[in-house]
Structure 1
Amino acid sequence: MAAKGVCLHHISRESSDVKRLAKFYNEILGFEKIECPDNGIYERIWMRLPPVFSLHLIERNPKTKLPEGPWSSTDAIADPKNLSRGHHICFAVSNYDSFVQTIKVRGLRARGSYP
């Protein structure tokens, strides 16, 4: 049982190219940009998937020693096998086949087939 008044507020993802990642979430999944205060230190974009789910995209600290995930990498070849199993975010879609077709039309690869 969750503590009284507790709910999920947002999830964050880091990337060396937050604009590229925001474009993906907007064009493929329908996220909308929402107001985000500028802290003047690093780039960040806040997004919402209506009606209430929020996602914060945050510029990766270039001094970080950990490898960057392939989906946020700007490398020409991104290999998802380098991700740990626990590093993911999952969305449900109403029509999987249509969604996969949308991804293919945009030149992206679809992985997995979870109901």
Structure 2
Amino acid sequence: MAAAAAAAAPILSHIARESSDIRRLANFYKEIFGFEEIETPDFGFNVIWLNLANAFSLHLIERSPETKLPEGPYSAVEPIREVSHISKGHHICISVANFDAFVGSLKEKGIETFQTAVPGRSIRQVFFFDPDGNGLEVASRDE
């Protein structure tokens, strides 16, 4: 019974993000994380599919001009652009093997970051925003 349950375990397929500039957002995720642009079906609206090998896909969907919601979660209530205040419940986390090199590359690109560590563990974390203000976390893999 346990083997059948393990075989049917769910896996993350994709995360969708709306943006008024999906090309800018796609270029950011390709440059920062190494996502690859993959073939996208014609849904009748603009969308770019990105894939992170052996992980998950990111679907960037062009925001309708009629949408009245703000462009990023940081502006949902008030404009909070301070990276140390990224919402606990609204971010994507990706882990990397060479944490220091990754953080160095963010600094070289002028991306503002906030670093911390998981209490009681050896995992380090860096938080930052994508160009639309979506919170991102990158965590070190257990060394």
What range is the shorter-chain TM-score in?
A: 0.7 to 0.9
CA contact (8 A) 1:34 1:46 kept: yes
**Which one of the candidate residues 67, 81, 87 is aligned to 1:79?**
81
Q: How many corresponding residue pairs?
A: 109
CA contact (8 A) 1:70 1:79 kept: no
Q: 1:59 to 1:78 in 2, by over 3 A?
A: farther
More relative contact order in 1 or in 2 (CA 8 Å, sep 6+)?
A: 1
Q: C-alpha distance in 1, partners of 2:54/2:63?
A: 27
**Which one of the candidate residues 69, 80, 105 is aligned to 2:72?**
69
Task: Give 3-state SS (helix, strand or coil) of 2:92's partner.
Answer: coil
Name the counterpart of 2:19. Answer: 15
Q: C-alpha distance in 1, partners of 2:69/2:113?
A: 25
Q: Which runs of 5+ in 1 are unaligned?
A: 72-76
Task: Please report the TM-score for the alignment, with normalisation by the length of structure 1.
Answer: 0.75
Q: 1:70 to 1:4 in 2, by over 3 A?
A: closer
Q: Which runs of 5+ in 2 are unaligned?
A: 118-122, 124-143
Task: Give 3-state SS (helix, strand or coil) of 1:22's partner.
Answer: helix
Question: Which protein is bigger by CA-based radius of gyration?
Answer: 2
Structure 1 stretches of 4+ with a deviation exceeding 6 A read none
Q: Percent identity?
A: 52
Q: C-alpha distance in 2, partners of 1:46/1:78?
A: 28
Task: Please report the TM-score for the alignment, with normalisation by the length of structure 2.
Answer: 0.62
**Match runs of 1:38-77 below 5 Å:** 38-41=42-45, 43-69=46-72
Q: Work out whether 1:102 is the aligned partner of 2:108.
A: no
Task: Give 3-state SS (helix, strand or coil) of 2:18's partner.
Answer: strand
Name the counterpart of 1:93. Answer: 96
Q: Which is richer in strand? A: 2
Q: 1:8 to 1:83 in 2, by over 3 A?
A: same
CA contact (8 A) 2:73 2:90 kept: no
Task: Give the superposed CA RMSD.
Answer: 2.8
